[in-house]
């Protein structure tokens, strides 16, 4: 398969590119090659490429910056995916576009399915939802894949920040009243690869590790795994904060966005493993000291 990945310097796309590069032929376009907010340049760049599968891992992902840089967020998250979808359709290629739990309002306290109506609270979620809708309207074979709380080796995320903080600080805090499903970037390629075959249906899918947790539980489990891996920490407990007290947050955040992965399991036969297992593996691989050579 010839796969073209956009946003290849990103946390998720970098893992997809690395893991799919064997046995597939992977080409990447990063911001240095094309600014996807320039829709004409994006269209020309895609027309010049050959691919069987087009993957969009790019996005304006800083939710607070989206509130203030609204036009850029709209171009990157809402308009560019429509250009990509059309380019993939022209070439008879499958298009796989990534989206977010922030399209939901977070009021439903049980796992969210793909049928639950989206209702974003902030501009990031609104632009991502517009991107989802444009992609799904363009063609039935396109895929929109929602992930949340993404962690992995290609770019530090929340859990790495918590571990760094706990190395020197005996008091570590995280929000205890917001809940979602962590997603390990190195697990995503295996869940999505079956869709390279056009025999599997396109549409909207949730793809995250199974289970859910609060930010505080996520952080505390990360500290425990780091400690098990031999990282010297000043604490392995995380004190609770309230979402409403996070004065630095500009954008509203949805409270409950644990996603159900039942649909992707039904269609592919693959059950995403629990987030704790994935996080333990990630932290162990990244932080455990290498065995000394004999």
Nearer to ligand NAP, 69 or 235 (CB): 69
| Smallest separation (angstroms) from ligand NAP to the CB of 199 | 25
Q: Which of 4, 28, 55, 76 binds ligand NAP (CB under 6 A)?
A: 76
Percentages of the chain per state (helix, strand, coil), in multiples of 5: 40, 15, 40
Q: Which of 83, 129, 147, 186 binds ligand NAP (CB under 6 A)?
A: 147
Catalytic site includes residue 124: yes
Nearer to ligand NAP, 153 or 235 (CB): 153
For residue 5, CA distances in Å to 12, 15, 18, 53, 171 come to 11, 11, 11, 8, 40
Footprint (CB under 6 A) of ligand NAP, residues 118-137: 128
**Across the strands, what pairs with 184?**
151
Under rule CB under 6 A, residue 179 binds ligand NAP: no
Residue closest to ligand NAP (Cβ):
10
Q: Which of 45, 63, 100, 215 binds ligand NAP (CB under 6 A)?
A: 100
Under rule CB under 6 A, residue 60 binds ligand NAP: yes
Separation CA 89–CA 87 (nearest Å): 5
Under rule CB under 6 A, residue 144 binds ligand NAP: no
CB 216 within 8 A of CB 210: no
Under rule CB under 6 A, residue 150 binds ligand NAP: yes
| Smallest separation (angstroms) from ligand NAP to the CB of 292 | 34
Under rule CB under 6 A, residue 9 binds ligand NAP: yes
Separation CA 5–CA 27 (nearest Å): 6
């Amino acid at each position: 398969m010839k796969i073209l990945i956009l946003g290849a310097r990103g946390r998720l796309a970098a893992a997809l590119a690395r893991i799919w590069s064997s046995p597939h032929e992977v080409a990447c376009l990063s911001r240095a090659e094309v600014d996807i907010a320039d829709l004409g340049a994006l269209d020309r760049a895609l027309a010049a490429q050959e691919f069987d599968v087009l993957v969009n891992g790019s996005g304006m992902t800083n939710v607070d910056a989206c509130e203030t840089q609204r036009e850029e967020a709209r171009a990157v998250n809402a308009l560019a995916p429509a250009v990509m979808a059309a380019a993939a359709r022209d070439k008879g290629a499958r298009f796989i576009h990534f989206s977010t739990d922030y399209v939901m309002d977070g009021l439903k306290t049980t796992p969210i399915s793909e049928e639950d109506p989206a209702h974003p609270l902030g501009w990031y979620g609104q632009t991502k939802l517009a991107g989802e809708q444009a992609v799904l309207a363009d063609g039935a074979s396109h895929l929109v894949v929602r992930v949340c709380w993404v962690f992995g080796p290609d770019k530090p995320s929340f859990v790495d920040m918590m571990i760094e903080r706990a190395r020197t600080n005996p008091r570590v805090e995280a929000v205890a009243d917001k809940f979602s499903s962590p997603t390990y970037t190195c697990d995503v390629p295996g869940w999505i690869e079956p869709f390279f075959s056009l025999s599997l249906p396109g549409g909207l899918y949730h793809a995250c590790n199974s289970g859910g947790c609060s930010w505080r539980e996520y952080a505390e489990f990360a500290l425990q795994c780091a400690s098990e891996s031999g990282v010297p920490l000043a604490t392995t407990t995380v004190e609770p904060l309230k979402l409403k007290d996070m004065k630095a947050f500009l954008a509203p955040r949805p409270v409950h966005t644990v996603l159900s992965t039942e649909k992707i399991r039904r269609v592919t036969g693959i059950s995403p493993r629990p987030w704790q297992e994935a996080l333990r593996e990630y932290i162990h691989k990244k932080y455990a000291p290498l065995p000394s050579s004999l």
